[in-house]
Structure 1
Amino acid sequence: MVILTGSALTLQDVKQVVFKNEEVRLATDVVERIRMNRETVEQMLAEKKTMYGINTGFGKFSDVIIEDHDLDELQLNLIHSHACGVGEPFSEHISRAMLLLRANALVQGYSGVRPELVKQFIDYLNAGIHPVIPQQGSLGASGDLAPLSHLALALLGEGRVVYKGNQMDTEQALDQCGLTPITLKAKEGLALINGTQAMTAVGVVAYLEMEKLLHQSELIAAMTLEGLQGIIDAFDPDLHHVRGHQEQIEVAKRILQVLQDSKLTTKQGELRVQDAYSLRCIPQVLGASWQTLYYAKEKLETEINAVTDNPLIFSEENKVISGGNFHGQPIAFAMDFLKLGIAELANISERRIERLVNPQLNDLPAFLSPNPGLESGAMIMQYSAASLVSENKTLAHPASVDSIPSSANQEDHVSMGTIAARHALQMLENTRRVIAIELICAMQAVEYRGIYKMASMTHAYYQQARTIVPSIRKDRVFSTDIEQLTKWLKDEEESDIQKQINKGGIMYEQS
C-alpha cells in the first residue's frame, strides 16, 4: 500500500501504483490539513477578498470579478472550455500516473480544495478507472491545462474512461463501481488543472523505461562484443578510474562482470590493437546516458512532491499568493536532456549493428546471411535501425527552447515540457527497436563464433531471447521478429541475469 502524505512519494511508489496497481490511501493527518486550507478559502470568500481564479476570471480575464452565485459555474465552465486536448490518448499507465501525482499535490493542503475531491482521486485509482486523456494540446505553462481538464472531466462523471480494459462513458464505469461524480466548488476546477502532472507522469514513465533499457543495452552490447571478438582491455577499471566519471566506471565494471568467463573476447594485440569506438567507448557513451537519466530522476523526484497550481493558499499566514509554480521549465529541461541520452543510446547501438552486418568490417558472413547473395539476411534490418536513429535526431531537438505566447499575451512564456516528455517516450520506443535489432544480429554472430564459448550470463540471455526469435536459417519477414523482441524487451521483468549483475555491488548508488 502507498500512503500519500504530499511530500514522501518516490519513483518506486509511482511504479508500484502505476504498473502493479498497488492500493493508495491518504495519510491519517492530511485530511485535517486539507480541510483547514479549504476553510481559509471559504473565509476569504465571505470577506469578499479578490482572489485570482476563485472569484475572478482566468488568464486575460483575471480582472473580471465573478458574482458569488456564479462561482461554482465558473469552475465547471473552466473545465469544459479547457478540455481541448487532441490526438491519440495517453496510455492507461500515464493516465493512472496523472491521477496519482495530482492527488499527491492536492494532499499538501495549499490548493484550497475539499477533502472529498482528493478522495475522488483515490477512489478512481483503487477502482482502476482511468480517464481518456488526449496527448496533444499542452503548452507546459499555466500547467498542463488541456490534459488535466480531460482528467477533471472524469471526476465530474463526464468524458470517457478505460475500466477493466474497455473504453466507456464515465457514467457507465461509475455505475459499475458504485461511485458518484463530484460537483466542483469555488477554486476546485482551477486547482485540478493548474499543474505539471501530465509532463511529469510521462517523464516518470520515460525514466522507468529508460532505466530498464540501459541495463538491457549493456547486456546486449556485451553479446555484440563477443560476436565481434571485442578487446576486453578497454574495460579495465584502471582506465576508467583515472577519468573519474562514476557512471562510466560502473558500466565498465558491469560489462567486465558479464564477460568474465567468455572465450570469445580478446586481448589487445591478439587480433587487433584497438576496436572501433562503438565497442571501445561503450562505458563512456552509456555512462553519459546514465548521467542524463540521473539528472531527470532528481528533477522528477522533486516534481512528484511539488505543489504546482495557482493561486496557493497559506492558511497559517492567512494569505493567497498568485505565482507561477505551474511553469514546467524544470521538467522541460530534464526531458530534453534525457532525450540526448536516449538518442546516443540508439546511435551507438546502430553503429554496432553496422559492424555486425558489414563484411568489410568483420569476418562474419556478409549481412549475417545464411546464404549470402541469394538471401539478404540482416541487410535491411540495419536500414530500419538507421531510419529510427535518424528520426530520433529530429525528436531530440529541444522543445524547451520554444515558446508561443497565449491568453492575449498574458501568458507570454511557456515551457513546452509536455512535448519534450512525449518526444522522450517516443524516442524510447524507437530506441528499443534499435536495441532489439542489435540483439538479433548479436545472437546470429555468436552462433557463428560458437555459443559454447559465450560467457555464462550472455549465454543465458541468448537462450531467453531465442525463445522469442529463432535463428536465421533463411530469409523471412524480419519485421515480425523485431516487433516481437521489442515487446519482450518492454515487458521483461528484472531477469535473474540482471539480479545477478546487481548483486555484484556495482550499481550506481542513485539507481
Structure 2
Amino acid sequence: MPRYTVHVRGEWLAVPCLNRTNTIRWLGKEAVRRYMKNKPDNGGFASVEEVKFYIRRCKGLGLLDLDDTVEDALEDNEFVEVDGNSLTTEDLVNLGKGLYKIKGLALINGTQMITSLGCEAVERAGAIARQADIIAALTLEVLKGTTRAFDTESHRFCDRVQDAYTMRCCPQVHGVVNDTIAFVKDIMMTEINSATDNPMVFAERAETISGGNFHGEYPAKVSHLAFRAGALLDVYARRRDMVRLVASAATEDHVSMGGWAARKALRVIEHVEQVLAIELLAACQGIEFLRPLRTTTPLEKVYDLVRSVVRPWMKDRFMAPDIEAAHRLLVEQKACAVGLF
C-alpha cells in the first residue's frame, strides 16, 4: 500500500493511501485530519474543511496541483509538506484598514513588540547556548580531541600539539556568548518592568507628561547583540546590521526600528538550533563508529536521549524528520534535563 510522509506544522505524519486515484487535495486534508486528531485543541484548526492550504514537495520544491491524483504527482514513500493559514497580502491590507497611523507604527516598531520578541530570543538563546556546550563536548569526544586546552597548564603534559580553534576555543567563544546573553537578559528584564507609554499618565497628580520612555533603542540594540551572539555559535548566520530609518516626515528623526532586530535575533537563534541539531546527530553517529569504546556517563546519557528519537544511519535515508526530532530535543532543553546542568 502506498504511503506518504507529510509535514504539517512541525509534525511528520505517515499517511497511507489505499486508492492512488485520490487527489493531492485528499492527501492534504487527510494529513491535517491526522494532525488535528493528535492535538488536544485540534492544533488550532476549527475543522478540516475550513483549512486553506497548498502542498509542495519538501525543501521548497514545486507546488502540487490539488486536483492531480497522487498516482500521477507522487512516488511511493515521497515526502511532502502542507502549508496553510498564512496571511496573504490582501489579509494584511484588510487588517490595516481603520488603524490610525500611530497604531500601525506600533505594530512594526512598538517598544512592547520589540521587547516581547527580544525576550523570546534571549530565552531561547540561553537555552541553546547551554546545550551548545554539551554538543561541543560530544564533538570533541568523537574527534578524539584533548581537554588539555581547557586546563590552566595548557599543553605542558599533552602529546597532542593542539586541536582546531573550533574545539580548543570553545570556552572563549561560548563564554562571550553567555556573557552577552546575560547582559541582554538584564536589559530586557528592566525593559519589561518599565512604563513605556507616551504620554505618561500620573493619576495621583492629575498630570500627563510626554517623554521618551516609548523609545525602543534599548531593546533594539540588545536584540542586535542577541543575534550577533547567536552568529558566534552559528558561523553560517549572516551578519548584516540593520539601518535606522526616519519616519513621519522627518519629525521622528531617530527611531530604532528594533522590531527588525528582534525578529532577526529570533531567526538567527532558530538557525543556530538547527545547526546544532545537525552537529548533535553527527556526533552521535560518530560514536557509532567508535564502539565498543564509550564516552563519559553524562555524554552517554545524551547519546541515549538522541537514540530514543533517532535511530543510527545504516544506509541513506531522508534526514529531515531526524533533524526535526533532534531540533525538538534542543528546543525542549532535553539535553540539559539528562543531568549535565
Q: Which category of TM-score, normalised to the shorter sequence, fits these structures?
A: 0.5 to 0.7
How far residue 144 of structure 1 moved from its aligned partner, in angstroms, is: 8.9
- Cα separation, 1, equivalents of 2:192 and 2:220: 14
What is the aligned partner in structure 1 of residue 217 from structure 2? Answer: 329
Which of 448, 453, 456 matches 2:289?
448
- Structure 1 residue 464, shift from structure 2 partner: 0.6
Between structures 1 and 2, the one with greater strand share: 2
Structure 1 partner of 2:273: 432
Give the residue type in structure 2 aligned to 1:206: A
Alignment correspondent of 2:142: 227
Return the letter of the residue paired with 2:226.
Answer: L
Q: Deviations over 1:300-323 (max 9, x none)?
A: 010001111111123444432112
Gap runs ≥5 in structure 1: 1-91, 93-131, 138-142, 151-193, 240-266, 348-388, 503-511
Count of aligned pairs: 244
The Cα offsets for residues 348-404 of structure 1, whole Å up to 9 and x where unpaired, read as xxxxxxxxxxxxxxxxxxxxxxxxxxxxxxxxxxxxxxxxx1xx21xx3222xx222
Q: CA deviation at 1:145?
A: 4.2
Verify the 8 A CA contact 1:436 1:485 in the aligned structure 2: yes
Q: How far did residue 453 of structure 1 move?
A: 2.0
Could you tell me which residue of structure 2 aligns to residue 501 of structure 1?
340
Structure whose alpha-carbon radius of gyration is higher = 1
Runs of 4+ aligned structure 1 residues displaced above 3 Å come to 143-150, 315-318, 492-496
The residue correspondences of 1:259-408 to structure 2 (distance < 5 A) are 268-269=158-159, 272-347=160-235, 389=236, 392-393=237-238, 396-399=239-242, 402-408=243-249
Contact kept in structure 2, 1:433 and 1:482, CA below 8 Å: yes
2:120 match: 205
Residues 245 and 256 of structure 2 are in contact (CA less than 8 Å); yes or no, is this contact kept in structure 1?
Answer: no
Aligned position for 1:468: 309
Q: Distance in 1 between matches of 2:232 and 2:112?
A: 27
Paired with 1:330 and 1:318, the residues of 2 have a C-alpha distance of 29
Q: Aligned AA for 1:410?
A: T
CA distance, structure 1, for counterparts of residue 135 and residue 175 of structure 2: 15
**Residues 234 and 297 (structure 1), Cα distance of their counterparts in 2 relative to 1, 3 Å cut:** same
Q: Which amino acid aligns with 2:328?
A: K
Identical columns (%): 36
| SS across alignment from 2:194 | coil
Task: Give the superposition deviation at 1:195.
Answer: 4.9
Q: What is the TM-score with the length of structure 1 in the denominator?
A: 0.45
SS in 2 for 1:486: helix
* Aligned-partner residue type, residue 302 of structure 1: T
Q: Is residue 216 from structure 1 mapped to residue 131 from structure 2 by the alignment?
A: yes
Aligned pairs (5 A) from 1:114-133: none
Q: How far apart are 1:495 and its partner, in Å?
A: 4.2
* Counterparts of 2:335 and 2:274, CA distance in 1: 19
Q: Deviations over 1:393-446 (max 9, x none)?
A: 1xx3222xx222222222121101111010010011111111011111111112
Match of 2:194, as an amino acid? A
Verify the 8 A CA contact 2:131 2:335 in the aligned structure 1.
no
- Answer 1 or 2: which has greater helix percent: 1
What RMSD over aligned residues (CA atoms) do the two structures have, in Å? 2.7
1:478 aligns to 2:315 (yes or no):
no
Partners of 2:121 and 2:324 in 1: CA distance: 19
Q: Aligned with 1:412: secondary structure? A: strand
Quote the Cα distance in structure 1 between the aligned partners of 2:114 and 2:153: 41
Take 2:107 and 2:232, find their aligned partners in 1: how far apart are those partners? 35
**Structure 2: 5+ residue stretches without partners:** 1-43, 45-86, 96-100
Mapped partners of 1:477, 1:493: distance in 2: 24
For residue 300 of structure 2, the aligned residue among 456, 459, 462 is 459
Structure 2 counterparts to residues 27-106 of structure 1, below 5 A? none
Give the match's secondary structure for 1:405.
strand
- Tell me, in whole angstroms, the C-alpha distance in 2 between the residues paired with 1:148 and 1:305: 19
Deviation of 1:324 after TM superposition, in Å, equals 1.8
What amino acid is aligned across from residue 482 of structure 1 in structure 2? I
What is the rounded CA distance, in whole Å, between the counterparts of 1:470 and 1:227 in structure 2? 18
- Structure 1 residues 345 and 467, CA gap change in structure 2 (3 angstroms): same
**Scaled by the length of structure 2, what TM-score is found?**
0.66
Q: Please list, as runs of the form range in 1=range in 2, the aligned pairs for 1:223-262 lying within 5 A after superposition.
A: 223-237=138-152
